[in-house]
Amino acid sequence: MKKKSSNKLVRFWKILGPGLITGASDDDPSGIATYSQAGAAYGLATLWTAIIAFPLMAAIQQMCARIGLVTAQGLTGTLKKHYPRPVLYLMLLFSFPAIVMNIGADIAGMGAVGNLLFPSIDAMYFSVLFTLLLLGLIVYLPYQKISSILKYLCIAMLVYFVVPFLYKQDFIEIAKATFIPTIKFDKDFVAILVGILGTTISPYLFFWQASVEVEEMKNKKKHLIVNKKIIFDMEQDVDFGMTFSGFVMYFIILTTGTVLFKGGIHQIDTVEQAAIALKPLAGNLAYLLFAIGIIGTGLIAIPVLCGSLSYIFTETFGWEQGLDKKFHDAKAFYIIIAISLIVGLSLNYIGISPIKGLIYAAVLYGLTAPVLIAIILHISNNKKIMGNFTNSKMSNILGFTAMIIMTVAAVVLIYLQLIS
């Protein structure tokens, strides 16, 4: 009986791949900073967003994955083939600055946390070290190795499930905040909501999911003849990844919403501030686990961020691309990855605040995501493109709900900005 259970677990672990990595990368250091600020500023008032975001996020990522599997090309390639060029260039224009700022914020966050753990070494040295390490791994390791490393790094994120239980909790209060939404119609609260939605349902993940599904199939040396089993395995992978992501998001808001908010700390500008603030209030272990988790999530998220940007550019201009290819076979692909890492790192040297950049990036994601979701819904329901694998009724309901919620949040934010 134990052997059967063990075999099932092994089979399930093998199914996990792009969906798990996408989910884990969604909780990157910049996302952690957004969730930490939400918890510190408003306590448990935004805890319900994790419950709302999960099914919406899962539905959209499944659509993107299905587009990749059915068309055998990424989202950018599909847009290029079936939609006017201005739509494609507009997405490119919005994606580049937001993703680069996100990379910069993540590198800065990892460097700062490295300095917390080893105070004698300057944070900038850690930032450079992590950048070079990631660049070396992405360029020299084949996709299969990168995928395996990223999958095992996801285990590091389990630390966030432990942290809240190192502090006394009011479970009735938590249950109320989880299932009864709190909404405040003021500029800062709406900005936090848009930021949470933008960093959770992020456009760069749409591009990554579609492209990496194609990469995964190539790696398995399977013909891209999609059947129900392939779709079912993909849906399990995505559902598990998004569930994992949702739990991490939930526990970060829970940790900062109870420990920091109740401790009188209502402003968190950086991820290292969140870690430091936990130390006297929740103990050394909570602080240490929180800090280690930030480095782990950065190592997962940054390859996804720069990889998605490179897929967007190379598919737009028809250049060779793919993490399964060696450097000399896809020079442009790897050069774009290198440039995005270096530009992201340089933001820390030229005086651009990575946290301000991150907030702008999250809000920019929140403003552009509805447009992309509309396009993804259109592609996913187009029989000429998707054949027998168009959206189910439930997928459409969840997809349109995500688009409406993000559109309303963005419009309210713009309105509040204009009248203030």
Average pLDDT over residues 365-374: 79
d(CA 238, CA 225): 20
Q: Report whether 194 contacts 366 (CB < 8 A).
A: yes
d(CA 334, CA 107): 18
Q: pLDDT band at residue 400, thresholds of 50, 70 and 90?
A: very high
d(CA 321, CA 154): 25
398 has a pLDDT exceeding 90:
yes
d(CA 198, CA 232): 27
Q: How far is CA 345 from CA 294, 327, 333, 336, in A?
A: 17, 22, 19, 14
DSSP string, 150-208: HHHHGGGGGHHHHGGGGS---HHHHHHHHHS-----SHHHHHHHHHHHHHHS-HHHHHH
Domains of the chain: 2-419 (1.20.1740.10)
**Claim: this prediction has a pTM higher than 0.75:** yes
Structure-block tokens of residue 95: 């994606």
pLDDT at position 214: 82
Place of tokens 């349902």: 201
d(CA 47, CA 257): 8
**Which of the pair, 364 or 28, is modelled with greater confidence?**
28
C-alpha angle 99-102-106 in degrees, rounded to nearest 5? 140
Q: pLDDT band at residue 98, thresholds of 50, 70 and 90?
A: confident
Q: How far is CA 202 from CA 28, 95, 309, in A?
A: 11, 10, 13
Of 2-16, 58-72, 338-352, highest mean pLDDT: 58-72
Structure-block tokens of residue 259: 């420990």
Buried b (16+ CB within 10 A) or exposed e, 45-76: bbbbbbebbbbbbbbbbbbbbbbbbbbbbbbb
Q: Report whether 69 contacts 408 (CB < 8 A).
A: no
**Which of the pair, 281 or 183, is modelled with greater confidence?**
183
Buried b (16+ CB within 10 A) or exposed e, 316-326: beeeebbbbbe
- pLDDT digit string (tens) for 264-308? 877 777 677 777 776 766 667 767 777 777 787 888 888 888 988
Specify the amino acid at residue 117: L
Q: Report whether 213 contacts 71 (CB < 8 A).
A: no
Place of tokens 């917390």: 116
d(CA 330, CA 321): 5
Structure-block tokens of residue 11: 């089979």
pLDDT at position 207: 86
The pLDDT mean for the chain works out to 80
pLDDT at position 358: 59
Q: pLDDT band at residue 213, thresholds of 50, 70 and 90?
A: confident
348 has a pLDDT exceeding 80:
no
- pLDDT digit string (tens) for 248-267? 889 889 888 888 888 887 77
d(CA 77, CA 55): 26
Specify the amino acid at residue 38: A
d(CA 91, CA 276): 37
pLDDT at position 46: 92
pLDDT at position 9: 63
pLDDT at position 27: 73
* Local structure of 8: helix, strand or coil: helix
d(CA 420, CA 408): 18
- Of the ranges 24-28, 40-44, 119-123, 195-199, which one carries the lowest mean pLDDT score? 24-28
Q: pLDDT band at residue 338, thresholds of 50, 70 and 90?
A: very high
d(CA 13, CA 338): 31
